[in-house]
């Protein structure tokens, strides 16, 4: 799996090495946030660029460390600081992302910082004002289906006064507000015909009834939740320590106090059939906030080339020339 910490600027790759030990690999990318991954490619939103990392290993190749995938930064699309949150790939291959600063969904542009794909109907103007804190994107059949926002504010930073309630899910195809009774929702994902999300201000993973808009809590996780992925009957959830200011004064504080619990930073793995937390990674020290979590199916041990050390200057691979067609006798 992969997860990001924008607070420390880290991309983490976690797997199992040849000795059956947990492998834990990290690389620096400034304000690493939204993440999309498959076995061949990783997309990563950072401070002012969206990076594309490509796996350079063939099916039978391994690195000296035994990794079966090695991701190398190949393209950095400079967008400027858009505060990009969730990132996804559409069925036609185009990259779509949540442009939180401008309160819209956006596409990459070959000329400009971005091209507008969709905006909520209550947003009257595209401006770098983070009006509603649009943050999460759920895809269906390769197209944007639902988004989450902290509220329906239409003024600069208006969401900061609506953190405890008013969080919403919006249907991208109809512009309908499905639910407006959440607290700082993040990471909506369609899984097994249900819309799952993190009701981050309360600390609960759960589902939203698309007919009634009711949030059905499933599992409490002790932290401010962002980043959600699914694999083999389990959910992987990212947890952050509640930050003074944006994350304080929420129902999460009371939930932690009721359980006599301290908040976590890390990843918890939840068995969907029981709601039990069956595995976890807990980060301590300087890492206090995570943003996104992704599963990379079929990959056992992954590493990446960083952008700070000399390695990126000297790590060279090439594609062999295609053989010319044989001459017709």
Residue 69: CATH number of its domain:
2.120.10.30
How high is the pLDDT of residue 320? 84
How high is the pLDDT of residue 243? 75
How high is the pLDDT of residue 328? 58
Mean pLDDT of 83-89: 98
The full DSSP string for 250-283 is: SHHHHHHHHTT-----EEEEEETTT--EEEEEE-
Q: What is the DSSP letter of 208?
A: E
Contact 87, 35 (CB under 8 A): yes
Instruction: Tally the domains of the chain.
Output: 1
Q: Is the pLDDT of residue 329 over 60?
A: no
Higher pLDDT, 273 or 163: 273
Residue 54: pLDDT band with limits 50, 70, 90: very high
Sheet of strand 104-107: strand arrangement: 84-89, 95-99, 104-107, 115-118
287 is a domain residue? yes
Positive or negative, the CA dihedral 45, 280, 136, 296 is positive
Q: What is the dihedral of CA 286, 281, 204, 229, to 10 degrees?
A: 110
CA atoms in the 13 A half-sphere facing the CB of 41: 12
Token code pair at residue 294: 């992704």
Contacts of 24 (CB under 8 A, 6+ apart): 12, 13, 14
320 is a domain residue? no
32 is a domain residue? yes
Residue 26: pLDDT band with limits 50, 70, 90: very high
Pick the closest to residue 228 from 283, 189, 264, 277 (CA basis).
189
Q: What is the DSSP letter of 305?
A: -
Average pLDDT, whole number, for the chain?
95
43 is a domain residue? yes
In the block, tokens 């992925």 appear at 229
- Residue 238 pairs in a beta bridge with 267
| Cα gap 142→156, rounded to integer Å | 31
326 is a domain residue? no
Range of the domain at 283: 2-314
- Residue 107 pairs in a beta bridge with 96, 115
How high is the pLDDT of residue 170? 98
How far are the Cα atoms of 238, 269, 280, 285 from residue 128, in angstroms, in the given order? 27, 36, 37, 33
328 is a domain residue? no
How high is the pLDDT of residue 324? 73
How high is the pLDDT of residue 323? 75
**The pTM is what?**
0.94
CA–chain centroid gap for 197, Å, is 12
Contact 48, 67 (CB under 8 A): no
319 is a domain residue? no
């Amino acid at each position: 799996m992969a997860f990001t910490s924008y607070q420390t600027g880290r991309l983490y790759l976690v797997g199992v090495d040849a000795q059956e030990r947990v492998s834990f690999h990290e690389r620096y990318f400034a304000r690493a946030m939204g993440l999309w991954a498959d076995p061949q490619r990783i997309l990563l939103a950072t401070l002012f660029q969206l990076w594309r990392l490509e796996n350079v290993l063939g099916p039978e190749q391994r690195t000296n460390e035994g990794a079966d995938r090695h991701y190398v930064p190949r393209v950095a699309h400079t967008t400027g600081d858009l505060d990009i949150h969730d990132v996804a790939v559409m069925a036609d291959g185009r990259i779509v992302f949540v442009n939180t600063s401008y309160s819209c969904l956006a596409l990459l542009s070959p000329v400009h910082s971005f091209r507008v794909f969709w905006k909520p109907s209550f947003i009257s103007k595209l401006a770098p004002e983070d009006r509603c804190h649009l943050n999460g994107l759920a895809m269906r059949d390769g197209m944007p289906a639902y988004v989450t926002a902290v509220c329906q504010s239409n003024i600069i930073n208006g969401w900061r006064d609506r953190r405890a309630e008013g969080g919403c899910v919006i249907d991208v195809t109809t512009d309908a507000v499905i639910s407006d009774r959440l607290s700082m929702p993040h990471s909506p994902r369609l899984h097994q015909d249900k819309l799952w999300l993190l009701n981050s201000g309360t600390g609960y993973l759960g589902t939203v009834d698309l007919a009634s808009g009711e949030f059905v809590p499933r599992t409490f996780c002790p932290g401010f939740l962002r980043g959600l992925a699914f694999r083999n009957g389990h959910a992987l959830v990212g947890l952050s320590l509640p930050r003074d200011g944006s994350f304080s004064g929420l129902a999460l504080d009371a939930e932690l106090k009721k359980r006599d619990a301290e908040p976590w930073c890390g990843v918890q793995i939840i068995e969907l059939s029981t709601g039990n937390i069956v595995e976890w990674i807990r980060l301590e020290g300087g890492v206090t906030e995570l943003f996104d979590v992704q599963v990379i199916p079929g990959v056992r041990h992954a590493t990446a080339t960083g952008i700070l050390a000399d390695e990126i200057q000297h790590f060279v691979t090439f594609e062999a020339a295609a053989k010319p067609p044989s001459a017709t006798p």
